[in-house]
């Protein structure tokens, strides 16, 4: 495992990390959470990602219980949460959004659920146009000054909004965002590769990225080539939207490309999921690739992607580009 700086910050994150979206509190209970996190940690993973909205707080409760059982040294790993939609089934207006009130109270609640004293990373899960940028930046700065958060960032913010947050921080002597958590995979590239390009300059924003959905919600594993398996998360209650994506026009238009990508992986002597994760790691502006798993075997499989990176030569990368031409957004 290699460790990359989170943008221009001094924090080093493992190039592969482990996330709990969908799985924890749903497919993964405490004991399985312990096993999966232990497998990732033993492979060198030091960043574990979470959010208040994941399974309405249950994901953080499961991760917190798992961390208690694992009893790792607190300074040996990084945990995160995200704030925006709240952790309630039907949140009241003050229990969601990026108001200073919710940002600070949600941080306290996440810390309590995960049984820790602080969060290493705290993300604004999406932009909130109803809250002034200065209020958001001041709220995050206050949490850092209180010692409840070490670094704050954004998720799926536009490059323009990230730049605005940075400018506001510099204008009022506040702490700017360190990272964004954008979607990034073979079929979804524009934001990370183009829109954020000016933000990577270490002389200005120096943005880090903790990218999510590197396997395009499972499409890039090949498991949906012949329909949606019965045990797929796409069949879980509340994830009908995922099934619609995979079986709808977007997913169907990319199935032939997935078949061709599978042949490229075969030629490399690896799986398509490993190749797809390695493809993300080839981008030097990716600080860490968040992986997910509901089985220990999947964790082990994902960690092997590190070995594939050297095999992705310019010729292989060009072949992947040719296969996905017109399909990558």
Active site residues: 54
Report the distance separating Cα 179 and Cα 201, nearest Å: 13
Output the CA angle 309-212-60, nearest 5 degrees: 125
How far, rounded to the nearest angstrom, does the alpha carbon of residue 36 sit from its chain's CA centroid? 17
Nearest to 220 by CA among 182, 194, 180, 183: 183
Give residues with Cβ within 8 angstroms of 275, minimum separation 6: 261, 264, 265, 268, 305, 308, 312
Nearest to 184 by CA among 68, 279, 267: 279
Burial 241-261 (b: 16+ CB within 10 A, else e): ebbebbeeeebeebbebbeeb
Strand extents, DSSP E, 162-239: 179-180, 208-211
SS3 61: helix
Give, as one character, the DSSP assignment of residue 292.
Answer: -
Q: What are phi and psi of 160, to 5 degrees?
A: -65, -45
CA distance 166 to 145: 17
CA 73: distance to chain centroid? Answer: 23
- Residues whose CB falls within 8 Å of the CB of residue 1, separated by 6 or more in sequence, listed in order: 14, 15, 16, 43, 44, 45, 303, 306
Phi/psi region, residue 142 (left: phi>0; alpha: psi -120 to 50; beta: rest), is alpha
């Amino acid at each position: 495992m290699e460790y990359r700086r989170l943008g221009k910050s001094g924090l080093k994150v493992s190039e592969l990390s482990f996330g709990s979206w969908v799985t924890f509190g749903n497919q993964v209970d405490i004991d399985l959470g312990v096993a999966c996190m232990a497998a990732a940690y033993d492979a060198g993973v030091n960043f574990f990602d979470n959010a208040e909205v994941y399974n309405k707080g249950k994901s953080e409760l499961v991760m917190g219980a798992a961390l208690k059982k694992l009893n790792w040294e607190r300074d040996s790993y990084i945990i995160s949460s995200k704030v925006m939609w709240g952790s309630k089934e039907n949140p009241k207006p003050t229990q969601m959004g990026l108001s200073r009130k919710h940002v600070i109270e949600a941080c306290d609640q996440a810390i309590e659920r995960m049984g820790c004293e602080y969060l290493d990373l705290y993300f604004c899960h999406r932009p909130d146009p109803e809250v002034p940028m200065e209020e958001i930046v001041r709220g995050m700065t206050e949490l850092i000054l209180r010692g409840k958060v070490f670094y704050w960032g954004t998720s799926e913010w536009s490059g323009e909004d990230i730049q605005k947050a940075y400018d506001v921080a510099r204008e009022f002597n506040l702490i700017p965002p360190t990272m964004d958590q954008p979607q990034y995979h073979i079929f979804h590239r524009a934001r990370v590769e183009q829109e954020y390009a000016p933000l990577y300059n270490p002389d200005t924003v120096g943005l880090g990225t903790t990218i999510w959905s590197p396997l395009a919600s499972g499409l890039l594993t090949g498991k949906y080539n012949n329909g949606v398996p019965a045990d797929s998360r796409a069949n879980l209650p509340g994830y009908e939207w995922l099934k619609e994506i995979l079986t709808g026009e977007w997913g169907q238009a990319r199935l032939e490309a997935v078949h061709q990508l599978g042949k490229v992986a075969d030629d490399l002597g690896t799986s398509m999921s490993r190749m797809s994760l390695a493809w993300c790691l080839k981008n030097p502006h990716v600080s860490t690739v968040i992986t997910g798993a509901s089985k220990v075997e999947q964790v082990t499989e994902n960690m092997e992607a590190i070995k594939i990176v050297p095999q992705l030569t310019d010729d292989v990368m060009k072949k992947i580009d040719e296969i996905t031409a017109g399909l990558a957004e």
